Structure 1
Amino acid sequence: VAFSEEGFVSAMKKNAIWVDCSTVNPSFSRKSFLMAKECGIRFMDAPVSGTKPNAENADLAFFVGAEKSVLDVVQSLLEGMGQKVMHVGEPGKGTALKMLVNSLLAQSMLMLSENILLGEKLGFSKDFLLDTLPKMSVCAPFTQAKAEMIRKNDFEVQFPLEWMHKDLHLAALTAYEEGQPLPLANSAKEIYAAAKQDGLGRKDFSAIYQFMKNGTSP
């Protein structure tokens, strides 16, 4: 799509800026930067943090890997879509940070789901657990919104479960490239893979609760 003879890079003007907002492997971003440079194109990775409501309200966060001079040119455009633009380093660093964030998201959602289900077995009401656990300091703040989705059994997609599985797969690939063991994220990846196989791929990733409740998790 980018570098083939029919790819868009060959159609870009010299010194144009390619802002890649997709969530991909950091090694892919670094490779894209080098290949774009050979073509006289400036590249930056700027994946976003946030889901559908954040996009609708223009309060996304951008994690930017770029030369500062390149970011300066497009920062106002990013600010039109988001409330936070974080310059985290050279090309590849934006996608690296996004990978860490999504790995934490995926695992935090799993942990909340698992403990709600255990709590119910211990005699607590589901409503009590949903009102209490996400507000504790041990829980990630985003779980409060996801708790309401669980309460209503409404998993209308904000961030698709199948995309979360893809991002965990990318984390596993990157960990392999870096020689870093990733046992917890890899376990989460397999659970999300099973949920996707169970037909929940196009639901919000909080539907992992529904999958675990059905007792089909590995």
Structure 2
Amino acid sequence: MKVGWIGLGNMGVPMIRNIAQAGIDVIAYNRTQKTLSIDGVQLVTSLGDAVRDRDVVVLMVSDVAAVRDVLFAQGAAQQMGSGTLVVNMSTIGVDETLEIAKDLHSRGLRFVDAPVLGSVKPAENGALTVVAGGDASDFELLKPLFDAVAKAAFHIGPCGKGATMKLLVNAYLGVAVEALGECLTFGAENGLATKLMLDVLQNSAVWSPMIAGKRDMLLQQAYDAQFALRHLTKDLGLAIRQASSIGAHMPAVDATLDTLCAAVETGLGNRDMVAVVEYLKAQTRP
């Protein structure tokens, strides 16, 4: 398998490092020039060099605007050989996924939507979870790549179902993060120390890997982004839009989105998602 990789951000770099360590032939490109050195990875400054003569082209970028920019505005799709398998591992909307798939198929290209569950630490450890939509045969072909970056990979169904599952998970995540922030703020205003609250939660039924992974951030009040609040906010917006299109009722997600948007507007967007607790503290009446 010869892979062209597009996107060398906080997630892309550890993912491609694990792919190279698995012995997969990979060439990588980033839209903005970065000075990097990754063992086993050929880094190129030309998009065409990253996608020509590749069996698989993977996108791991920030949003649908970036996906469309790479594929269509910058011309990656035009430079791929017929039958190239395009894999979008970025988080975008279900409707956007289906539109892109239709466009690529019309050009003689194949497409799988395969967003990942997990943030930077799981990416570094090769412990993400892949949720993929597309042809079952393409999913099977991609297993060596998925095995390199993930602890588990699921074929959810046809194209668009991977995006659906990712938005479902992140909608749940958003509500959980916001609820954690509310409850920690409630406890702090009642005189409880953060460490004590987390110790008790750790010995309760509500403890989760997500809270465990954010414990040090919350104790130190240092929110270097593993998963930026603005990205979670974007994902909840996509989930609400998809829910509206099919008539699903998501009142808790809707209310959470309002809170996250307000937190982003105060300047917390580039900090980790649990920084929403700082916004909630600021809303507490004196």
How would you bin the TM-score normalised by the shorter chain?
Answer: over 0.9
Report if aligned partners of 1:45, 1:94 keep a CA contact under 8 Å in 2. yes
Q: Partner of 2:91: helix, strand, or coil?
A: coil
1:45-103 deviation digits (Å, cap 9, x = unpaired): 00011111111111111111111101111210121111111111111010100001111
2:150 partner letter: G
Identity %: 28
1:134: how far off? 4.2
Structure 1: which 5+ residue stretches go unaligned? none
Match of 2:265 among 197, 200, 215: 197
Match of 1:63 among 119, 128, 131: 131
Considering fraction of residues, name the structure with more helix. 1
Structure 1 residue 92 and structure 2 residue 179: aligned?
Answer: no
Q: 2:213 corresponds to which residue?
A: 145
Once the two structures are superposed, the pairs formed by residues 120-131 of structure 1 within 5 Å of their partners are: 120-131=188-199
1:148: how far off? 2.3
Q: 1:41 corresponds to which residue?
A: 109
Query: For 1:91 and 1:213, how far apart are their aligned partners in 2?
Result: 41
1:147: how far off? 2.6
Structure 1 residue 17 and structure 2 residue 80: aligned?
Answer: no
Structure 2: which 5+ residue stretches go unaligned? 1-68
Report if aligned partners of 1:108, 1:140 keep a CA contact under 8 Å in 2. no
Report if aligned partners of 1:46, 1:62 keep a CA contact under 8 Å in 2. yes
1:154-210 deviation digits (Å, cap 9, x = unpaired): 111100000011011111111111122221111111111111111111100010111
Query: For 1:139 and 1:96, how far apart are their aligned partners in 2?
Result: 26
Report if aligned partners of 1:130, 1:148 keep a CA contact under 8 Å in 2. no
1:187 partner letter: A
* TM-score, length basis structure 1: 0.93
Report if aligned partners of 1:135, 1:141 keep a CA contact under 8 Å in 2. no
Report if aligned partners of 1:102, 1:164 keep a CA contact under 8 Å in 2. yes
Higher relative contact order (CA 8 A, sep 6+): 1
1:37: how far off? 1.5
Query: For 2:73 and 2:178, how far apart are their aligned partners in 1?
Result: 43
Report if aligned partners of 1:175, 1:181 keep a CA contact under 8 Å in 2. yes
1:3: how far off? 5.8
Q: 2:232 corresponds to which residue?
A: 164
Structure 1 residue 8 and structure 2 residue 76: aligned?
Answer: yes
1:52 partner letter: V
Report if aligned partners of 2:167, 2:235 keep a CA contact under 8 Å in 1. yes
Query: For 2:195 and 2:91, how far apart are their aligned partners in 1?
Result: 35
Report if aligned partners of 2:194, 2:218 keep a CA contact under 8 Å in 1. no
1:103-151 deviation digits (Å, cap 9, x = unpaired): 1111101111111221233343322101112442234331122132111
Q: 1:155 corresponds to which residue?
A: 223
1:216: how far off? 6.7
Once the two structures are superposed, the pairs formed by residues 93-132 of structure 1 within 5 Å of their partners are: 93-132=161-200
Aligned residues: 217
Query: For 1:90 and 1:143, how far apart are their aligned partners in 2?
Result: 32
